[in-house]
Amino acid sequence: MAALYPVQDVFTRGEISPRLHARASLDFYRAALARCENFVTLPHGGIRKRGGTYFAGEVKISAGKTRLIPFIFSADQAYALEFGDQYIRVYAYGARVGTVEMASPYLEADLFELAYVQSADQMWITHRDYPPKVLTRSAHMVWALDDYDFLDGPYDPINDTATTLRPSSTGHATPRMTSSTAPSGTVTDDGSGTNSYKVFDRDITQQIAITTGSSGFVQYQFPGGQGKAVNAYWLAASDNVASNGDMATQWTLSASNDGVNYISLDSRAGEVGWSGSEVRFYEFQNKSAYEYYKFAFSGGGGGDADITSLAEIAMAESGDTMAPFDLTASSVTGINGDTGFQASDVGRAIRLLGADNVWRWARITSRTSTTVVKIRLFGHALPDASPITRWRLGTFVPGKFVESGSLYEERLAFSRRFSVYASATGDFDNFALGEKDDDALEFIQAGGGQANDIVWITDSDGALLIGTSGGVRALSGSGIDEALTPSSFKNRRSRTFGCARIRPVDAGQSFLYVTRSRRSIAELTQTAQSRFTSDDVGQISEHIPKQGVVELAFQTDPDPLLWFPLDNGELGGYTHQPSQEVRGMHRHRLGGSFSGIGWAVVESAVVTPGQDGNDDLWLVVKRTIGGVTKRYIEIKTAPFEYVAVTDAFEVDCGLTYVGAAVTTVGGAMHLAGQSVDVLADGKVYRGLTVSGGGTVTLPGGATAARWQLGLPYAAAADTLELDVGGRDGSLIGRRKKVAKAILSLLETDTTGLEVQSLMRGLWEPVRLPSIVAPDGRATLFTGNVEVPIDDSWEGQGRVRIRHVNPTPCTIRAFTPVFDAEP
């Protein structure tokens, strides 16, 4: 029969599963390959040899696992963080940032279970076995890792046992005054008050005249020139109902350290309608200690002949500066499973309901025994030191810390087991529950009715997505475009796959996440308001993610690509542009080797914005170098596009030299003893050896001013059996013999391009005799080339293609010319 010319000009489905190699009737079959290794499928239809990787540095501890985490302040300020065994280092712009290094608590075994969420210059890092930390960048060279303290929550259920907690102090800044100067400090007024010191005597069942007019002041001065930081207070009106009109309606609280120069700390107006012994609470920002605190009242005296009066002023000392005091439990019942206070409770929050039926919160600073701890009280002072029957211990203790986080609607949200906790709106430290729309939130069964652990949470359009081991849920406001509040919420289940504990990525129109088995990748798309569905994006390439996905990193520029390290050390790739029906997987084996396998092991991958407008893909790569395990941080270079061949970077773990023309370059100690390829002024040198001192020398005394040197890798593609031209049905399975292959190339160094029959072992080089490269330099070719192939009838019309030089290669289309059985 006549020769067949079936063109394949689309490779957008990438490498498909061996289970589908005979499914020629499927629509995607003619856009697929049997093998796509170190080639990237392009949205335009072709395949392009991937760019190489640039050596950025060796990790601190090469013998141990290392993870990268992105820190992205903006498109112009982005970092890659090296997390190793109990340390963090910082990289940016292709190199380590000075000597910046922070000690961390995270052990090597826990690195890949760390979760993180970032806002501007802060990143919150969480793990169920570690207290949450906050990483702060103050400047390019100034970084700090500190404890992150939840303010006022979240908490375990309210105590329902007979155990009481008795505080040894109340948190008042002032002592309980018995006179104007006793027991310490001095109380003064404008001279017309009556026993003004009694506003600090802890008694709200009284009427104390501050002034005989409608305006006046009362002041407390700490003794000995010492001051305290005050940031909250409460006022109690007189218990004389008939005299409530005497309560001031406005005032200013000011402070001083010399009694002459005052600054205003807080002012109030319109405080009307007081009832007998009513208490009102006020807070303000202040971290400074002052010796004098003065309340200047006005607008009082309306009920009793211009006498301004009240019952009590309670100034609270800042919990950050107060001396800790004892909190004594009457028994161990109800505390940590009836075991009492433990050393692990240090740092834990605790909520206390005072005798005035108002909740306060405190933090445990030390443990004395199973029934005694010391605390600092935050917010408002307690009315007295009586035993407290209603209390709540903070939720987070070792083994029960938050596990993942996200930002959503100006709230900082965290998850733990089945629960989600979200901060007050715009106040990322405040987790105090309330009923106002901007108060903090708590959802105890956010993971749904099944007891499925929440493994990640992330922000999506209109919903907080909750990934659980049983599927994905969506938490949102109860109405369309309605904010999530304590009184407006809904938690919907979606028909999705269970999730692995691997951070999902935002792929623009959808989210991509790893399923529970870690052997497939799913795409999560929104079908309606707060309703989602997911599909296995790698089903036709199931053999690639089945190696076990380690983590995900999504690159937007220059092409939409998902990268995912695999358990077997390969780097998986997935070209993802669903609007153009571009969904193709490919595999990448980096140059070098580790422990007997023929490629280097990729352990971690993250993406950050690059300086040239392309995204940077950062990798942690493990190799055996000189018999020793080495882990290097490398950056995948931008793909070769429309530039000179001398700019091509198609080697791994490589370096660039630009300068005077030389025959030897150094600086490659990380590759000592390794065989490398070099592109020197556009000329290819293969198989050069790096000396023990890290130098490489060109043979024959050749010199070059621009070098790209590194470990070699080959790009390989195997075609499928094409089903065309049969007169009486499919040609699949019938014998075929390929005579030649026609390749449509773009900017390709053809001297490194070879073609082979699937059944014969002879690699046929692509020859272009009409093009002569001066001085042996590589020349890029665009157009069609024909390559004769030595094939047999058992070859099924399939061809192998590979490119071995450290130079570019892009294949736009492939046409096998073959004969087939009739």
Predicted confidence (pLDDT) per residue in 58-83, tens digit: 999 999 999 999 999 998 899 999 99
pLDDT above 90 as % of the chain = 65
Q: Which residue has the higher pLDDT, 372 or 247?
A: 372
Structure tokens at 499: 């999730």
Give residue 724's pLDDT. Answer: 58
Cβ density class 648-679: b for 16+ within 10 Å, e for less: bbbbbbbbbbeeeebeebeebebbeebebbbb
Which residue's entry shows tokens 């499973």? 337
**Residue 230 exposure: Cα atoms within 13 Å on the Cβ side:** 29
Could you read off the pLDDT of 598-621 as tens digits, one per residue?
999 999 999 999 988 899 999 999
Q: Is the pLDDT of residue 734 over 70?
A: no
Q: Which residue has the higher pLDDT, 510 or 481?
A: 510
Give residue 22's pLDDT. Answer: 82
Check if the beta carbon of residue 720 is closer than 8 Å to that of residue 32: yes
CA 53 → CA 78, 218, 616, 645, 713, distances in Å?
A: 19, 71, 10, 17, 11
**Identity of the residue numbered 774:** P
In whole angstroms, give the CA distance from residue 523 to residue 507: 9
pLDDT category of residue 295 using cuts at 50, 70 and 90: very high
pLDDT category of residue 588 using cuts at 50, 70 and 90: very high
Which residue's entry shows tokens 């003064």? 188
Give residue 774's pLDDT. Answer: 62
Check if the beta carbon of residue 524 is closer than 8 Å to that of residue 499: no
Could you read off the pLDDT of 463-503 as tens digits, one per residue?
899 999 888 888 888 877 788 888 888 777 777 888 999 99
Give residue 252's pLDDT. Answer: 97
Structure tokens at 251: 């005032």
Strands (E), 589-735: 601-609, 615-625, 628-636, 652-662, 664-665, 675-680, 683-689, 696-697, 704-711, 715-718
Give residue 384's pLDDT. Answer: 93
In whole angstroms, give the CA distance from residue 37 to residue 34: 10
Give residue 735's pLDDT. Answer: 66
Q: Which residue has the higher pLDDT, 727 or 423?
A: 423
DSSP of 428-448, one letter per residue? TTB--B-SSTTSBEEETTTT-
Q: Is the pLDDT of residue 728 over 80?
A: no
Lowest mean pLDDT among 229-238, 366-375, 398-407: 398-407
Give residue 224's pLDDT. Answer: 87
Give residue 406's pLDDT. Answer: 95
pLDDT above 70 as % of the chain = 93
The pTM of the full predicted model, rounded to 2 decimals, is 0.86
Lowest mean pLDDT among 390-404, 624-638, 740-754: 390-404
Structure tokens at 113: 């279970």
| Secondary structure (3-state) at 700 | helix
Give residue 72's pLDDT. Answer: 96
Structure tokens at 262: 């005052």
Q: Residue 151 — φ and ψ, nearest 5°?
A: -95, 115
In whole angstroms, give the CA distance from residue 57 to residue 50: 21
A 10 A CB-CB count for 150 gives 27
DSSP 495: B
Give residue 186's pLDDT. Answer: 96
In whole angstroms, give the CA distance from residue 266 to residue 128: 40
Q: Is the pLDDT of residue 582 over 90?
A: no
Could you read off the pLDDT of 452-461 as tens digits, one per residue?
889 999 998 7
In whole angstroms, give the CA distance from residue 714 to residue 591: 8
pLDDT category of residue 729 using cuts at 50, 70 and 90: very low
Q: Where does residue 384 fall: left (phi above 0), alpha (psi -120 to 50 degrees), or beta otherwise?
A: beta
Q: Is the pLDDT of residue 361 over 90?
A: yes
Closest C-alpha to 18, from 32, 38, 8, 5? 32
Closest C-alpha to 634, from 651, 646, 648? 651
CA 470 → CA 10, 115, 439, 449, distances in Å?
A: 37, 19, 30, 10
Quick one: three-class SS letters along 768-820?
CCCCCCHHHECCEEEEEEEEECCCCCECCCCEEEEECCCCCCEEEEEEEEEEE
Rounded to 5°, the CA angle 281-282-285 comes to 150
Listed in sequence order, the residues at least 6 apart from 681 whose beta carbon sits closer than 8 Å to its beta carbon are: 646, 661, 704, 705, 706, 777
In whole angstroms, give the CA distance from residue 439 to residue 359: 15
Number of helical H runs and strand E runs in the chain: 0, 63
**CA of residue 418 relative to chain centroid, distance:** 20
In whole angstroms, give the CA distance from residue 443 to residue 441: 7
Structure tokens at 236: 């109690």
| Secondary structure (3-state) at 225 | helix
Give residue 514's pLDDT. Answer: 96
Q: Mean pLDDT score of the chain, rounded to an integer?
A: 90
End-to-end CA distance of the chain: 7
In whole angstroms, give the CA distance from residue 714 to residue 686: 12
In whole angstroms, give the CA distance from residue 738 to residue 757: 8
Q: Is the pLDDT of residue 245 over 80?
A: no
Q: Is the pLDDT of residue 732 over 70?
A: no
